[in-house]
Amino acid sequence: MTDCPFCSIAAGDGPASVVYDGPETMAFMDLNPINEGHVLVIPREHSQGLAGLVPATGGRMFAVAQKVAAALRTSSVPTDGVNLFLADGEAAGQEVFHVHLHVIPRTEDDDVTLAAEQSRVAREELNDVADEITELL
């Protein structure tokens, strides 16, 4: 895809601080990090969202994210924990429409929050939704 910044990086045409460069996936530092050490893991092949992502490639992305998280924990980057985050679609907060998995190092005292109001749902409602999803799988 010619106007996709992540495709440009994957092709070697765009600038990036690369931490992993594999045949199907790559990882590089986020240009606008939430915390120091924030890394993005992408598939080399363009996929706007999860629906178009080859499942095996998604698995490889997660495996790379696990390795990056382990490296962060042993690096000099302050890392008490790690968040993995993937936004699929504009309503979910996706800004670059090439699938990417955020690996975000966390510390006890950082100001990062993922806040949502939760509510208790009746088991019957949960079962109904679970049944619908199961049928569609």
The residue to which tokens 């890392």 are assigned: 79
Catalytic-residue membership of 100: yes
Handedness of CA 69, 116, 119, 80 (dihedral sign): positive
Please give the Cα distance from 73 to 51 (Å, whole number).
Answer: 31
Residue type, position 108, single letter: E
Q: 10 Å Cβ neighbour count for 137?
A: 4
Bridge partners, residue 131, by sequence: none
**Catalytic-labelled residue, pool 38, 98, 100, 102:** 100
d(Cα 118, Cα 34) in Å, to the nearest integer?
Answer: 24
CA 64 to CA 42: how far, in whole Å?
10
Catalytic residues: 100
